[in-house]
Structure 1
Amino acid sequence: MLKMIPMMKLLVNLPFLLLITTNHLSLHMIHGQTQDSCGSNSNLANISSQIFFETSSLNCFPVWSSENFILRYSQDGPSLWNFVLSAPISNSYIGMGFSPNGGMVGSSAVVGWVARDGSGNMKKYFLGGQSPSQVLVDQGDLEVIGNTSLVISDSSRIFMVFQLLIDQPRRQLVFSVGDSSNPPPNTPNFLLTRHRSHMAISLNYASGQSSRIKAPYSNLKRAHGALNMIGWGILIPIGAMVARYLKHLNPLWFYIHTGIQSLGFILGLSGVIAGLVLDNRINADVNSHKALGITILIFGCLQVLAFLARPSLEAKTRKYWYWYHSSVGRLMILFAIVNIFYGIHLAKAGSSWNAGYGAVLGILFTTVLVLEINMLRKK
């Protein structure tokens, strides 16, 4: 009887084991279907009969590993080039742009997607700016041969096939994938929504060698973010804490407070200037972010004026000045924190920036909480 117990447990748990095994195999099969490769297990063989040009001599390159984008290309004549871009199917689009400078803006692109009815669609776009209204359908300098261009879906992948009439395609290529939460382009205007992610490479068509292109003005973007974060978002709050909690260290607290706030203002001003230069160069659609930044700068200038025009301690207007100075300072800090997180979101800088600044704010908030409790106990 004792020997039968393990067997009975196995029989009882058998349906669950089968379910787990089946799910595991299904996931493995789905994963395998969504993969494409430049090797012998290429999905291209399944659809080669539907393509109007020879596919056996196509050069193959995994241009975007994290999104599983595979690019195949070949020169089919003095002014004729073949392209096949493969990517996983999603409820959005894939795009390939030919850029004059390695940036998305200014590129002429080919965009493909699978509609809800399962049909493949492809359109040309000119990427005149970052807002949807600046992305113009059926525009750009790409001469695509229409009767050989098509979008095919096979084994959970989308293949965007097209030919270009051009002597030499641009080496700077940009790739994008749409946000699956937004519908793909549709009639009548085929509006292209903002991409979920993008990347750029420089490709040597002769050798097949490529290198990833650094995002345009990436150093300026980082400088803008870091200067504003340190200046407005860290130093200014610390300076305010000094003024509130270190008054017993008179007059040392005053020199520490003004020193920290002055440094914070200088760094923050530099960050705003960097942002305005960046906005002028890339023409980004960040009006709310820019308006908040200018508002914060105005608050900072008002604080500098308040420091220069502060009344004496014995003056009757001192309490009104203090109320104004502290209120504007608190508003400035609040707006700065909001705009920093908003800027991180707009720049798609990643969770590391959010986590890093969030950790700093957490430390500052905990410190304020402890000091406030200590002040209440002393009262």
Structure 2
Amino acid sequence: MIFHCLIFVGFISFLPSTDSSISALSEKLSPTMNDDKINNVPIMELQSSKGQYKLPVPHQNLRPRNLRHHPLRLKLVRGGASFLQKVHGMVNIFGWGVLLPIGTIVARHFKKLPSNNADWYSLHILSQTSGFLLGTIGWGLGLSIRSAAKKHNMSVHGILGTIIFALATLQLIIAVCVRPNQEEHGSKTYWVISHHILGYALIILIISNVYEGIGHQNFAAAKNWKWIYGAILGALVFTFLALELVRRVKFDVRSA
């Protein structure tokens, strides 16, 4: 019995300690993270005496801590952003893309109608002011969506939207604060020319930016909105050309 105990003690003394085994194993396998990616997945490298091994890091470990294991919360966040984008698009299309062109048509063609001269001006102011307010709301929603997405670079759609807002604000200031009196014929001529040029330039930018924003949607939604706004724009263009033709005919009759 004593002989067997001596053999067992001697055998234990030759075994490596646990700490030394762990340190040896950590020297053989040392994980390091690098910037390499496989299918956009970060890679963890394992160094060993026999070679180097690469293992992909699971996607779920890369989620923000407050959204991990909460698929319902993720759906709510994505759904909220999608809802804001829809509201942003509809408000901008109706404000910038519909009401402002209607106000331009009213100002150009409704002056000559056999009615009170103040009627066309009130309708022009109402459509332009409503379009500006709705467009400003849509522009603010666009900035909120961009801020929530943490995008540092502004897209072409965002740049055009900001230019449109700035020019529309300038047009409003010119129309309200800088408009000359009826007696100032020379100043009023220059004011009318600048007011018209800025207004038509705004309409061109607005139509371009509406289609630019529609192009950011998925294929099905973009196709539907192109047809919808195309029909609205076609109706506005047809109305403008018809009234322009009537105006030309009346001018020719009066000249004769």
Gap regions ≥5 residues in structure 2: 1-36, 47-54, 64-70, 252-256
Identity %: 31
1:67-117 per-residue CA deviation (whole Å, 9 max, x = no partner) reads xxxxxxxxxxxxxxxxxxxxxxxxxxxxxxxxxxxxxxxxxxxxxxxxxxx
CA contact (8 A) 2:216 2:222 kept: no
Deviation of the 1:164 alpha carbon: 7.3
User: Counterparts of 1:90-169 in structure 2 under 5 Å?
Assistant: 123-125=38-40, 138-139=41-42, 169=60
Q: Are positions 1:313 and 2:182 aligned together?
A: yes
For residue 300 of structure 1, what is the aligned residue in structure 2? 168
* TM-score (normalizing by structure 1): 0.46
Deviation of the 1:216 alpha carbon: 5.2
Q: 2:107 aligns with which of 240, 243, 258?
A: 243
What is the DSSP-based 3-state SS (H/G/I as helix, E as strand, rest coil) of the residue aligned with 2:179? coil
Q: 1:276 aligns with which of 143, 149, 154?
A: 143
Higher relative contact order (CA 8 A, sep 6+): 2
Give the Cα–Cα distance (whole angstroms) in 2 for the partners of residues 144 and 360 of structure 1: 58
For residue 156 of structure 2, what is the aligned residue in structure 1? 288
Whose strand proportion is higher, 1 or 2? 1
Cα RMSD, aligned residues only: 2.9
Number of equivalences:
190
CA contact (8 A) 1:144 1:165 kept: no
What is the DSSP-based 3-state SS (H/G/I as helix, E as strand, rest coil) of the residue aligned with 1:325? helix
2:118 is matched by which residue type in structure 1? P
For residue 91 of structure 2, what is the aligned residue in structure 1? 227
* TM-score (normalizing by structure 2): 0.66
Deviation of the 1:286 alpha carbon: 4.5
Structure 1 residues 212 and 252: CA distance shift in structure 2, 3 A: closer
2:159 is matched by which residue type in structure 1? A
CA contact (8 A) 2:91 2:135 kept: yes
After the TM superposition, list the runs of 4 or more consecutive aligned residues in structure 1 that deviate by more than 3 angstroms.
142-145, 163-166, 211-216, 283-286
Deviation of the 1:234 alpha carbon: 0.4
Give the Cα–Cα distance (whole angstroms) in 1 for the partners of residues 237 and 45 of structure 2: 57
Give the Cα–Cα distance (whole angstroms) in 1 for the partners of residues 226 and 154 of structure 2: 19
Deviation of the 1:124 alpha carbon: 3.8
For residue 347 of structure 1, what is the aligned residue in structure 2? 217
Q: Are positions 1:336 and 2:203 aligned together?
A: no
Give the Cα–Cα distance (whole angstroms) in 2 for the partners of residues 267 and 328 of structure 1: 19
Deviation of the 1:214 alpha carbon: 5.0
